[in-house]
């Protein structure tokens, strides 16, 4: 299983239910990685999307504890156990965990690849991703040259879990 996340230099991922920054090239990479694949996300993350609608050209699986929650064009599950059972229907390599905070933390143990956009800036934040640099189970297997978006510097880094 894969995950995709953009983090700042403190591994922050969001503030007040919003992304820290929107970098067009990061969004492009996200689309390239996930189009035609399965994306797993929480309800709050879905609600930050345009009109709160699932992502087009992907199988959207929404994790929520709300038993009445429904959304058109998405599969809704209500527990990690139900999510894991549902994911058995898909190829592990085609599954991407895309947030938010609690979904990342619950699903990280099941992921083997992390596509991380590392932004060289510290933002005000209230949501964080576990620091993979400090986790001995994870190793960097690829990284891009430094990228620039106005005055921001960032880099695409691929982490893989050691066997």
pLDDT at 163 over 90: no
The answer to whether the CB of 12 falls within 8 A of the CB of 19 is no
Per-domain residue ranges of the chain: 2-152
pTM of the model: 0.96
Tell me the per-residue pLDDT of 6-51, one tens digit each, with 9 for 90 and over.
Answer: 999 999 999 998 999 999 999 999 999 999 999 999 999 999 998 9
- CA-based nearest residue to 96, from 45, 148, 153, 36: 36
CA distances from 92 to 34, 126, 136 (A): 13, 30, 23
Q: Which helix (H) or strand (E) holds 13?
A: strand 12-15
Q: What is the C-alpha to C-alpha distance for residues 118 and 12, in angstroms, rounded to an integer?
A: 10
Return the DSSP state at 1. Answer: -
Domain 2-152 has CATH 3.30.70.1060: no
């Amino acid at each position: 299983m894969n995950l995709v996340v953009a983090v700042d230099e403190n591994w922050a991922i969001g503030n007040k239910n919003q992304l820290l920054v929107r970098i067009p090239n990061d969004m492009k990479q996200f689309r390239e990685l996930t189009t035609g694949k399965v994306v797993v996300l929480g309800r709050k993350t879905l609600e930050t999307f345009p009109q709160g609608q699932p992502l087009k050209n992907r199988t959207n699986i929404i994790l929520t504890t709300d038993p009445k929650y429904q959304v058109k064009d998405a599969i809704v599950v209500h527990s990690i156990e139900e999510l894991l059972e549902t994911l058995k229907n898909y190829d592990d390599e085609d599954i991407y965990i895309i947030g938010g905070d609690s979904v990342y933390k619950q699903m990280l143990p099941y992921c083997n690849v992390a596509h991380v956009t590392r932004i060289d800036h510290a933002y005000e934040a209230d949501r964080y991703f576990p620091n993979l640099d400090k986790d001995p189970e994870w190793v960097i297997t690829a990284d891009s040259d430094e990228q620039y978006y106005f005055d921001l510097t960032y880099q695409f880094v691929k982490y893989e879990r050691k066997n």
